Amino acid sequence: MYRIIKKLLGNSASLIGLLLLLVFILIAIIAPYIAPPLFPDPYQIPRMSWDIEPQPPGFSITDDMRFIYESLGKPVTREQAIFGTAQGGYDIFYGLIWGTRTAFRVGIITVVFSMFIGIIVGSIAAYFGGWIDEVLMRLTDIFLSIPFLVAAMVLTTILGRGLDKVIIALVAFGWMGYARVIRGSILSTKEEAYVMAAKALGVKDFRIIAFHLLPNTIFPVLVQASMNIGSMVVTAAALSFLGVGAPLGYADWGQMVSFARNWIIGAPGKAGEYWYAVFFPGIFIILFVLSWNLVGDTLRDILDPRLRGEL
């Protein structure tokens, strides 16, 4: 463990990744201070104007908007949209800051739950073998037969908009990889002497799986899970981009990009006029995923015993 941490810190790529992650964690923690919420639900992005088209960075809240907030008894806390506003007058800066929390929430919850399901399915299949293995693995194959994004899109379309629905869809079609990995490693460890000894002593099957096998086989799955957080966040953002993810006005990076979709080309003669509408959300998403990938890539190289001592 110490060796891994040392290597992670020693490799420039993963060091950058870790630092970026730290920045994102910081942003998520201090979100209420840098972007104080106006509504009881902090994930609701405040609107700075009624304009349909995006407004440039530094745009000040319009007077009628201020009047509405004040008459609702909510003093306006921030005068300017420093990253500009998206389609519909939504404050891009606010959406991105609170979207960081959304990203961590979606990424971590999805990965934890799908890993949990995957571990249960995979370890049962590998430990008991025979027809149980056959049935569970064919079930895994079936879930793998629909392209991930398509499956998630279908399920969110049916369940309706909402972040919880997105998470359900991502978990429902995201557990198969973990099941396969854990099955593989349990298959190769279950014949070891200590497992045999536990069996001979009459330890119950589920106890053997939980306390003897899993502690020795779970590590590759954890690595895989950490690497998947980035891609889960991207898929959730993609669903929002397609218009089936987060509800309208919810602080979510994918939605911020989808707001930019209709404005990307700009007005005739003024190409790229609305660059900020896609630039800032894009940077947030890319850096977030990049940080996970940088860490994950190094982690995999470190753990791949064939390349040990090469980095």
Partner 1 sequence: MLSYIIRRLLILPLILFGVTFLIFALFSLLSPMERLATYINNPSVLKNPQAAQRLIEKYHLDDPFPAGYIYWVQSLMRLDFGWSPTANQPVWEAIKQRFPATMELVFYSIIPVILVGIWLGVISSVHHNDLLDQTIRVTAIIGWSLPTFIFGLLVLFIFYGILGWLPPGRLSTWAQYIVYTGDSFKHYTHFITIDALLNGRLDIFWDAIKHLIGPIITLSYISWAYLLRITRSSMLDTLRKDYIRTARAKGVEEKKVIHQHAQKNALIPVVTVAGMMIIQMLGGVVITETVFTYPGLGYWAASSAQQLDYGSVIGFALLFAFMMVIGNLVVDISYALIDPRVKLE
Q: Which residues bind partner 1 (CB under 8 A)?
A: 13, 138-139, 141-143, 145-151, 153-159, 230, 234, 237-238, 241-244, 254, 257, 260-261, 264-266, 271-272, 275, 278, 282, 285-286, 289-290, 293-294, 297, 306-307, 310
User: How far apart are CB 47 and partner 1 at their closest, in Å?
Assistant: 22
User: How far apart are CB 153 and partner 1 at their closest, in Å?
Assistant: 6
Three-class secondary structure assignment of 5-47: HHHHHHCHHHHHHHHHHHHHHHHHHCHHHHCCCCCCCCCECCE
Q: Which residue in 138, 126, 207 sits closest to 176, CA to CA?
A: 138
Q: Considering the complex, state which of residue 49 and residue 298 has its C-beta at the smaller distance from partner 1.
A: 298
Q: Considering the complex, state which of residue 24 and residue 212 has its C-beta at the smaller distance from partner 1.
A: 24
| Encoded tokens for 75 | 């003093």
User: How far apart are CB 134 and partner 1 at their closest, in Å?
Assistant: 10
DSSP state letter for 143:
H
Own/partner pairs for 27-36, CB < 8 Å, 24+ apart?
A: 27/97, 27/100, 28/100, 28/101, 28/104, 31/97, 31/98, 31/100, 31/101, 34/97, 35/78, 35/93, 35/94, 35/97, 35/98, 36/77, 36/78
Q: Considering the complex, state which of residue 218 and residue 259 has its C-beta at the smaller distance from partner 1.
A: 259
Q: Considering the complex, state which of residue 71 and residue 145 has its C-beta at the smaller distance from partner 1.
A: 145
Q: Considering the complex, state which of residue 173 and residue 212 has its C-beta at the smaller distance from partner 1.
A: 173
- The secondary element (H helix, E strand) that includes residue 217 is helix 214-242
Q: Which residue in 289, 245, 294 sits closest to 104, CA to CA?
A: 289
CA diameter of the chain: 80
CA atoms in the 13 A half-sphere facing the CB of 197: 5
User: How far apart are CB 233 and partner 1 at their closest, in Å?
Assistant: 9
Q: Considering the complex, state which of residue 12 and residue 77 has its C-beta at the smaller distance from partner 1.
A: 12
User: How far apart are CB 234 and partner 1 at their closest, in Å?
Assistant: 4
User: How far apart are CB 117 and partner 1 at their closest, in Å?
Assistant: 15
Three-class secondary structure assignment of 258-308: HHHHHHCCEECCEECCCHHHHHHHHHHHHHHHHHHHHHHHHHHHHHCHHHC
User: How far apart are CB 141 and partner 1 at their closest, in Å?
Assistant: 6
Q: Considering the complex, state which of residue 119 and residue 285 has its C-beta at the smaller distance from partner 1.
A: 285
User: How far apart are CB 13 and partner 1 at their closest, in Å?
Assistant: 7
Q: Considering the complex, state which of residue 14 and residue 55 has its C-beta at the smaller distance from partner 1.
A: 14
Instruction: Please provide the DSSP assignment of 99-131 as one string.
Output: HHHHHHHHHHHHHHHHHHHHHHHHHHHHHH-HH
